[in-house]
Amino acid sequence: MKIVVDGMGGDRGSEEVLKGISLALKEMPDIDITVVGKEEKLNIIIDRLKIDRNRLEVVNATEVVEMDDDPVQAVRKKKDSSLNVGLELVKSGLGDAFVSAGNTGAHISASQLKLRRIKGVLRPAIATVFPCKKGNFVFMDMGANADTKSEFINQFATMGSVFAKEILKKENPTVGLLNIGSEEGKGNEVTREAFDLLVDNPSINFVGNIESRDMMSGDIDVIVTDGFTGNMVLKTAEGVATFIFDVLKEEIQKSFFAKIGFLFMKKALKKMKNKMDSSEYGGALFLGLNGISIKAHGNSDALAFKNAIKVANEFAKNRFVEKLSSAIEEKEREEKEEKNMVE
């Protein structure tokens, strides 16, 4: 597999991206990587880090989409940006997947423009893997659609179920609708309409509403919501996790006995930190496109970039786009047959 990486995206700069690429090449012997960006700058860093070039190609791109750029304007005007050039490589078949930690809005816009939606997909969504008590679950939409219709959420559930089956290996994934209460009839107009559509969706195993406090129980394999709510939940979870570990670290430093206790708890606390660390999960997929486009966290370090490349490789090897396309096509066929029977 050939993974295309945006060498200019992310808050930490190109060196951190290339460190992640180096880790990925060492860990994954079945991949080649194309890094896109300002060629001269990238080559200097590659030489300094002594990265093996046998499976690494550098493709020049003269422009960079900055984090504060207007997403749509940046995609239109900066045609030779690392973001546009990298996605064009995937579109033309010169790469199997794309990874970037750059401007999220521009990444979404460019991905839709270059890769296009799978036939039948109403809106692409950002889907990610979330940790919980019993492993992981799929959570979407993470911010691609701030204003969402009920039929979009219904389709998110179908796409998320394919994700859970193919990537998380869940045999019959359960689906929950994030809401302010678990009872039927809760929520606003969109969530109430979505609930009715999800109940009637034969492609999924819908189990009802789920409150945010119960998300981490591990009882639900796919949780769907609108992009505004999903993004707020994600960032709140990241903030709470950081707060917990900061407070814990501060309290341990205050007491001699706490330091002694920490020595006995160190292994367990490290496992807990790793499970809650977003860098362990690599990146989120723009679900519903005719190609694999992975959004890594803007603050990704080398480990996070390596894991984002790993995620991209797994989706590519699994032929995920083809499987999702087949699932959407099958659902459309079922709906058409059902409509004909009613008529």
Helix axes 189-199, 150-166, angle to 10 degrees: 50
Q: Which two tokens stand for residue 231?
A: 């993004």
Residue 189: count of CB within 10 angstroms of its CB = 8
Q: Which of 219, 271, 264 is nearest to 245 (CA)?
A: 271
Residues listed for the chain: 343
Q: Which of 298, 258, 268 is nearest to 104 (CA)?
A: 298
Helix axes 302-317, 14-27, angle to 10 degrees: 50
Consecutive H or E run containing 2:
strand 2-6
The three-state secondary structure class of 140 is strand
Distances (CA, A) of 231 to 140, 248, 278: 9, 26, 14
Q: Which two tokens stand for residue 254?
A: 């205050």
Kindly state the DSSP code that residue 118 receives in the 8-state scheme: P
Q: Which two tokens stand for residue 87?
A: 């996605």
pLDDT (0 to 100) of residue 258: 76
pLDDT 10s digit of each residue in the chain, 343 long? Answer: 999 999 998 889 999 999 999 999 999 999 999 999 999 999 999 999 999 999 999 999 999 999 989 999 999 999 999 999 999 999 999 999 999 999 988 999 999 999 999 999 999 999 998 888 888 899 999 888 888 999 999 999 999 999 999 888 999 999 999 999 999 999 999 999 999 999 999 889 999 999 999 998 989 999 999 999 999 998 888 888 888 888 888 888 888 777 787 777 777 666 666 665 555 556 899 999 999 999 998 888 999 999 999 999 999 999 999 999 998 888 777 777 666 666 5
pLDDT (0 to 100) of residue 97: 98
Q: How far apart are CA 237 and CA 235, in angstroms?
A: 5
Compute the radius of gyration of the chain from its Cα atoms.
21
Q: How far apart are CA 226 and CA 233, in angstroms?
A: 11
pLDDT (0 to 100) of residue 262: 74
Q: Which of 117, 142, 118 is nearest to 128 (CA)?
A: 142
Q: Which residue has the tokens 């290339």?
A: 18
- Domains, the chain, ordered by start: 1-119+288-319 (3.40.718.10), 122-282 (3.40.718.10)
Amino acid at 225: T
pLDDT (0 to 100) of residue 57: 97
Q: How far apart are CA 339 and CA 278, in angstroms?
A: 43
For 238, phi then psi, to 5°, come to: -65, -40
Exposed/middle/buried for 307, CB within 10 Å: 0-12, 13-18, 19+? buried
